[in-house]
Amino acid sequence: MIDKTEIKNTTGLVWFGNDLRIHDNEVLSTAIKNHKKVIGVYCIDPTLFLKNEFGFNKMDVFRTKFLLETLEDLQQQLIQLNISLLVFKNTPENKIMDICKIYQIECIYKQKEWTNDEVISLKTVKEKIPEEIKVHEIYNQFLYHPNDINIDIENIPPVFSNLRKKLEKYNFIRSEAHIDKLTTDNLVNERTEIPSLEDLGFEEVTSNSKTAFPFHGGESEGLKRLHNYFFETKKLGFYKKTRNGLIGTDYSSKFSPWLANGSLSARTIYWNVKKFEEDEIKNQSTYWLIFELIWRDYFKYISLKHGNNIFKIGGILNKNYSWSSNRKIIQNWINGETKDDFVNANMIELKRTGWMSNRGRQNVASYFAKELTLDWRIGAAYFESILIDYDVHSNFGNWMYVSGVGNDPRDRKFNTQLQAERYDPAHLFRNRWLQQTLF
């Protein structure tokens, strides 16, 4: 329990991670309530741009561009609250200790994480800062808060529908966290520049004219998209009918990139769905968007329960399949040069835009693991590198699911050609991307 009387007149540091927003940010709200002064910091870790064991940058150009846009917006949003955001191209362990010394930080506040890289990063920071500096980790990324679900983490049901039914029947959604504005003397004199793509080793990239995700990063853009999709075009009312689409900006909500880096919260989306239901219509589509948010929670709870097993080749089921790691076959999949035109079109879209539909992801992942029998972790690592909306829990949870080492009780294999006939009967999507390769 935080003793507010002792720390109110001290300075708190908000160490931002995948919670890059000011609305409904429990971490930021708690720091502001507990301290007279608050500073924000974000570290762009250079190791993210190095090759991993599978030969991919952990973060390639599309995710990086979206992140930089998000940080620029967050910096401006925080200024409205009279809070400075210091951004460094450095590892957290190298910079946070310095910030704590310079600004006499008493407490650090951050979103609670539990996956491998984030746990190691926090451990390294704790080893460097003085013991008297307290680090407060706060759950800040769920729709259904872990403290409210009345289920021990080790007893999380292995099947999604079982968890969903329990959550919907016995639990509630918290209201959004309130954020107070500080006085102007809270701003610090230090200024930091957000690096450019070039600073991080990338060439500038322009949006592909055919992309289904032409949006920019940042909370402002996310809230703008939410307002447009819900209250201007009212496309939410048709979401269930269109969500398996492949072309265009409005076949789905496109919220996932903002959710992934935390510039939109699941609760903000939920309460706006409820407002839409009050003001416009309540139907299967409005429910289905909430249903998808519960899927997102589900994979977070699965990773909480199983820890680093989600990264192991046998997955959470510890299945022993015979996987291949043939580099040529993997590269053909990446380049959209397989024997399957539906897979190829989706992979070319991904390579050129950093985006792929949910329907496409299920098909290309199933093809990778079940048809080509390639090590699913390599496909997951490629997605991690290139997807604008990469989220560790959903990415590895879904890859395990379609690869037969996760939570799918039926262990299905997608018939990609039947899927193409159903979702792209006129070849519009395939022609859109495959004809670019004809030269």
pLDDT in tens, 421-435: 999 999 999 999 998
Q: Would you list the domain boundaries of the chain?
A: 10-140, 141-175+218-310, 312-437
- 236 and 230 Cβ atoms separated by less than 8 Å: yes
Residue 346: is its pLDDT beyond 50? yes
Residue 316: the pLDDT is 96
Superfamily covering domain 10-140: HUPs (3.40.50.620)
- Residue 407 has phi, psi (to 5 degrees) of -105, 10
Residues paired with 88 in a beta bridge: 43
Between 356 and 3, the more confident residue is 356
Tens of pLDDT, residues 63-82: 999 999 999 999 999 999 99
- Residue 376 has phi, psi (to 5 degrees) of -60, -25
Asked if the 141-175+218-310 domain carries CATH number 1.25.40.80, the reply is: yes
CATH code of 312-437, in short, is 1.10.579.10
Strand spans (E) along 116-224? 134-138
Residue 412: is its pLDDT beyond 90? no
Residue 436: the pLDDT is 56
Pure H helices in 229-283: 239-242, 256-260, 266-279
The burial of 231, by beta-carbon neighbours within 10 Å (0-12 exposed, 13-18 middle, 19 or more buried), is given as middle
Residue 259: is its pLDDT beyond 80? yes
- 133 and 108 Cβ atoms separated by less than 8 Å: yes
Domain pair 10-140 / 141-175+218-310, same fold: no
Tell me which H or E stretch contains 221. Answer: helix 219-227
Tell me which H or E stretch contains 80. Answer: helix 61-80
C-alpha distances (whole Å) from 149 to each of 80, 173, 232, 272 are: 35, 10, 34, 22
